Amino acid sequence: MLDVDWGRTTAAQRRRLVAESLVAAGRSTALIPQRIQAPLGEAATAVINATRTHSRQVQELAIGARFNALDKRVARHIVNAQGLFVRDEYGRRLDAFGRQARQVVASGLERGLGRVDIAGELEAAARAALIDRAPFYWEVVASAFVGQGRSFAQVSSYAEAGVRRYRIEAVLDERTTHICRYLHGKTFAVEDALRKFEQVERLEDPDAIKQALPWIRERREGDRLTLTGAGTAIAEVTRSAMGVRDDVGEFRPKLAEAQLGDAGIGFPPFHGMCRSVTLAVV
């Protein structure tokens, strides 16, 4: 749709052509969330099944082998939520491509480029925005999907087994993040985690889900390094142990431990490629 003789168009026509191309691209990319439902559903079943098996055999929780009602809700939620995030991501990419397409056309006309050259630059921009993506991006997506499915399934197992509290268990090696070091060993109520799941399960806006279950960011102001989630300060790093094994470092809490779960920081993943897990406190 954008392979036209741009030199013969007016500014209004150029805006219309770009807008029409975005509508067409939107129709095409809208199919993607639908097509990932089936494979994500299979993956969700595998994650939850593996989590239940681990809970029974390794943590020795007294739970059945089959999925319970909450497990089925967890599977539906993580599949639907991932579909929401994928659709939202493609919406953001379309917006970005629309801005870039207008810039490409304007720049091409200024440089005196012809139809073929401008079309080539537009094709490259569209491919970069809508198709190509570094493998690491998809690894983060997959890691988040598995991590959240595992955490919710663990909470389901704890509830079924009558476990009242669980603790965060981080992998304390050279790559462990500040937030996982800070949360390592902290305990949370299963009842609070169930309430958080029920809250998130009802959400249909990706931004609202991110707000309810925020990933933790690091904010540096001079010599101060603060861990924040959805704009809320969680803790200040007073002694970093980054790059060191078996050392959590030292922190100054900004939230009381009882407030962490309410802030959506009660179970992994806490960031992209998070390796922390939960263990029952028995």
User: Higher confidence at residue 212 or residue 37?
Assistant: 212
- For the stretch 87-125, pLDDT in tens is 888 888 899 999 999 999 999 999 999 999 999 999 999
- For the stretch 240-270, pLDDT in tens is 999 999 999 999 999 988 899 989 999 999 9
- How many residues appear in the chain? 282
Peptide bond into 269 cis (omega under 30): yes
Classified as helix, coil or strand, 67 is coil
With cut-offs at 50, 70 and 90, classify the pLDDT of residue 189.
very high
β-strand pairing of 277-281 with 250-253 = unpaired
Instruction: Work out the percent of the chain whose per-residue pLDDT is above 70.
Output: 100
Instruction: Work out the percent of the chain whose per-residue pLDDT is above 90.
Output: 74
pTM for the full predicted model: 0.82
> Alpha helix (H) ranges present in 11-111?
11-29, 31-35, 37-57, 69-110
With cut-offs at 50, 70 and 90, classify the pLDDT of residue 36.
confident
Q: From CA 24, how far away is CA 148, in angstroms rounded?
A: 33
- For the stretch 130-188, pLDDT in tens is 888 777 877 888 888 999 999 999 999 999 999 999 999 999 999 999 999 999 999 99
Cα end-to-end span (Å), the chain: 63
Structure tokens at 273: 């490629």
> For the chain, how are helix, strand and coil distributed in percent, rounded to 5?
55, 15, 30
> Alpha helix (H) ranges present in 111-161?
115-130, 135-161
